[in-house]
Amino acid sequence: MTKIGFIGLGIMGKPMAKRLLQAGYDLTCYDINPEPVRELVTAGARQGRSSKDVAEQSEIVITMLPNSPHVEQVVLGADGVLAGARPGTIVVDMSSIDPTVTRDVSAKLQKKGIVMLDAPVSGGEPKAIDGTLSIMVGGPQDAFDRVRDILLKMGASAVLVGEIGSGNVTKLANQIMVGLNIAAMSEAMVLAVKSGVDPERVYQAVRGGLAGSAVLDAKVPLILQGNFKPGFRIELHIKDLANALAAAHEVGVPLPLTSQVMEVMQALKVQGKAEDDHGGVVQFFEGLAGVKVRKS
């Protein structure tokens, strides 16, 4: 059985690593927070002492980290993956980061004969738990072929979209579409409530038509309950939109709608709602109109 290392056991990484254990893979894990490591060890994983130690024990190293600086530190740092990995190792970074950083990290790994794939995911914690994430992959075809079955233990789909960095470009495009969809849905539902129409009935009426979407079905039921427990935090969506804006400006693509949604999320962050689920964007529009979109 392939020896896999998993570094980063946060809200997404822990359930993803558990899926690999359940599939019977030989797993070594590491996180700066010891609690999820203990949980994974209890479930059958081995504990790595550092990112370097994990790499020394693994043929494939998966990272799931918050942002670009964390990936650079974990992979390229003094006690990082690069220091422990052997030539032929595949590093699969499933974090959502700046594609420019992805390409830079990959180039440094290549000098030691280590191949990198960027494979960010969409679906949030619920789909990480049930193993139905959408996985967008950038990198060489042969490396993707080697890890595809592993990825499909964590996701319902894994698609190679292009060369290294393409996975993160695709994820940024995904996050633009999700963010704008949530904002549009929020604005529309606030209009319905302010006009005296039952928001639950509006949802049921439109979900089967062209306005229906995965975002609508995932977020409206929670909004109606006032449940903003994070599946994907507003602060993480801010991070993704910041990366999207930076990447877009680098290649000469204006993103006017993305910029507006970014400012909505920034306003909510100032209000202390950064750790709310991104479905909590509705609270910005509720505040403007003086109503709440809740089940009656």
Which pTM value belongs to this model? 0.91
Residue 261's domain comprises 169-289
**What CATH code is carried by the domain that includes residue 13?**
3.40.50.720
The pLDDT-based confidence of 296 (bands split at 50, 70, 90) is confident
Task: Indicate the pairing of strand 133-138 with strand 121-122.
Answer: antiparallel
Chain-centroid distance of CA 9 in Å reads 13
Q: Which of 50, 52, 44, 53 is nearest to 21 (CA)?
A: 44
Contact 43, 63 (CB under 8 A): no
57-86 per-position pLDDT tens digit: 999 999 999 999 999 999 999 999 999 999
32-63 per-position pLDDT tens digit: 999 999 999 999 999 999 999 999 999 999 99
Total of domains in the chain = 2
Among the three residues 131, 164, 197, which one is the final residue of a domain in this structure?
164
pLDDT at 198: 97
Residue 192 lies in a domain: yes
Residues with Cβ within 8 Å of 147's Cβ and at least 6 positions away in sequence, in order, are 60, 90, 92, 117
Position 87 pLDDT exceeds 80: yes
**What CATH code is carried by the domain that includes residue 255?**
1.10.1040.10
Cα 118 from Cα 4, distance rounded (Å): 16
Residue 295 lies in a domain: no
Q: Based on the fold, state whether residues 158 and 250 are members of the same structural domain.
A: no
Residue 294 lies in a domain: no
171-228 per-position pLDDT tens digit: 999 999 999 999 999 999 999 999 999 999 999 999 999 999 999 999 999 999 999 9
Write out the catalytic residue numbers.
171
Q: Based on the fold, state whether residues 86 and 7 are members of the same structural domain.
A: yes
Q: Based on the fold, state whether residues 186 and 119 are members of the same structural domain.
A: no
